């Protein structure tokens, strides 16, 4: 809308449901730049928590990787739910056409200049004609299904473990994120604010969060933290508790005709490297620039290169997230040889400035 291009947003759920979901909160510098450029970063700039580095530890020790020194860029902690709230407010100010409880059931004619989609409402089915359709409907959405299998290759790996996470009313254990690869399994200490913590522990993927009491979580979480962080941990009641299974997925094309895939509709990375939300923003960066280029200048170059540019960045982020995940987690399917290699990777990262520089460049965010 900022560029004079009429848009319609179709959302499967209610606005209340969208704003109630707990999601990621670590933003690359490029993501922050995009939000500022879109004019929706006023509250972010007031309330964000800036992190100049991250701590990594194991049963014996911990060390810090300095993002500012090694990459020149910090990362920002600001919840995805808050970004969604800011975007809603901006769209409301612009009187945007947002239609809630309107699940899309079919997409057609994307190989022509007149694509359309069908969606359901409480009163029946509706049709919407468009110039382009952008599917931002997640891994389980319908958008990707309308890219014919003959035109896409899908790459997927599933890990045998997941993350049990809680959102707790408690001050963070540290002013920066703490990643721990203990002998009992992985743990992550993150945050949403100075009084709201987001903590995770590695569990088998078949576990049910209902089987974990708050007391059981805190006991296990404390045992997996490096000593100095375990000693200062403050617990509190959980607001939300869930398990996220870890997997890697990439659709080999993010564009078919006039249908574009963005975010989880086209790719999912393990959450260890905090890349999911940031990759969705970079997809939107490439897609929106391509659409502006087309509507203002009739130039198809950006659209023709959209999938390649976006996927180049996706695969670079996947490489980093997969490496980081494998290094920090216990894998019940691996043998002693692989376990020793992962320990050697961690030791190399702790000792080698060059390895820490690579880590900082990737974690803080590669350029678009």
pLDDT in tens, 168-210: 999 999 999 999 999 999 999 999 888 899 999 999 999 999 9
Residue 114 CA to residue 131 CA, distance in Å, equals 6
Active site residue 78: no
Active site residue 363: yes
Q: Which residues contact 196 (CB under 8 A, 6 or more apart)?
A: 167, 168, 169, 170, 239
Res 194: pLDDT: 87
* Residue of 224, 225, 271, 263 whose CA lies nearest to 245: 271
Res 22: pLDDT: 77
CA angle 78, 91, 41 (to 5 degrees): 30
Res 1: pLDDT: 62
Active site residue 12: no
* Residue of 20, 336, 11, 324 whose CA lies nearest to 177: 324
User: Which pLDDT tens digit goes with each residue over 229-256?
Assistant: 999 999 999 999 999 999 999 999 999 9
* Residue of 179, 199, 286, 306 with catalytic role: 179
pLDDT in tens, the chain (368 residues): 678 899 999 999 999 999 998 777 899 999 999 999 999 999 999 999 999 999 999 988 999 999 999 999 999 999 999 999 999 999 999 999 999 999 999 999 999 999 999 999 999 999 999 999 999 999 999 999 999 999 999 999 999 999 999 999 999 999 999 999 999 999 999 998 888 999 999 999 999 999 999 999 999 999 999 999 999 999 999 999 999 999 999 999 999 999 999 999 999 999 999 999 999 999 999 999 999 999 999 999 999 999 999 999 999 999 999 999 999 999 998 999 999 999 999 999 999 999 999 999 999 999 99
Res 108: pLDDT: 97
* Residue of 267, 275, 285, 329 with catalytic role: 275
CA distances to 128, 139, 252, 265 from 106, rounded to whole Å, are 11, 16, 21, 15
Active site residue 51: yes
* Residue of 115, 271, 286, 309 with catalytic role: 271
Whether the pTM exceeds 0.85: the reply is yes
Q: Could you tell me if 207 and 242 are in contact, meaning their C-beta atoms sit under 8 angstroms apart?
A: no
Active site residue 17: no
* Residue of 51, 285, 309, 329 with catalytic role: 51
CA angle 65, 349, 363 (to 5 degrees): 50
Res 23: pLDDT: 79
Helix axes 336-351, 301-328, angle to 10 degrees: 110
* Residue of 34, 44, 31 whose CA lies nearest to 82: 44
């Amino acid at each position: 809308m900022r560029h004079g291009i009429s848009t319609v947003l179709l959302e499967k759920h209610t606005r209340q449901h969208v704003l109630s979901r707990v999601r990621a909160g670590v933003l690359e510098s490029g993501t922050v730049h995009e939000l500022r450029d879109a004019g929706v970063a006023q509250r972010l700039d007031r309330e964000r928590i800036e992190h100049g580095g991250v701590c990594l530890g194991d049963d014996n020790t911990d060390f810090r990787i300095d993002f500012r020194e090694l990459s020149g860029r910090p990362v920002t902690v600001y919840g995805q739910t808050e970004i969604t709230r800011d975007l809603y407010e901006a769209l409301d100010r612009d009187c945007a056409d947002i239609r809630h409880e309107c699940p899309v059931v079919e997409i057609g004619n994307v190989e022509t200049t007149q694509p359309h989609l069908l969606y359901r409402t409480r009163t029946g089915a509706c049709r919407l004609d468009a110039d382009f359709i952008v599917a931002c409907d997640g891994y389980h959405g319908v958008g990707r299904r309308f890219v014919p299998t003959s035109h896409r290759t899908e790459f997927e790996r599933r890990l045998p473990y997941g993350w049990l996470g809680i959102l707790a009313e408690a001050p963070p254990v540290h002013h920066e994120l703490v990643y721990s690869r203990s002998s009992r399994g992985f743990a992550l200490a993150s945050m949403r604010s100075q009084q709201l913590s987001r903590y995770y522990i590695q569990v088998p993927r078949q576990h049910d969060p209902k089987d974990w009491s708050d007391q059981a979580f805190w006991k296990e979480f404390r045992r997996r933290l490096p000593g100095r962080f375990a000693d200062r941990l403050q617990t509190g009641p959980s607001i939300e508790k869930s398990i996220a299974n870890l997997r890697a997925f990439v659709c080999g094309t993010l564009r078919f005709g006039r249908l574009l895939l963005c975010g989880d509709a086209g790719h999912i990375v393990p959450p260890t490297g905090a890349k999911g939300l940031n990759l969705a923003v970079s997809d939107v960066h490439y897609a929106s620039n391509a659409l502006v280029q087309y509507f203002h200048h009739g130039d198809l170059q950006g659209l023709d290169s959209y999938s390649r540019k976006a996927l180049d960045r996706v695969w670079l982020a996947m490489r980093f997230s997969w490496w980081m995940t494998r290094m920090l987690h216990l894998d019940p399917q691996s043998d002693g040889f692989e376990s020793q290699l992962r320990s050697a990777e961690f030791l190399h990262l702790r000792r080698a400035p060059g390895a820490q520089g690579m880590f900082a460049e990737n974690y803080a965010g590669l350029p678009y």
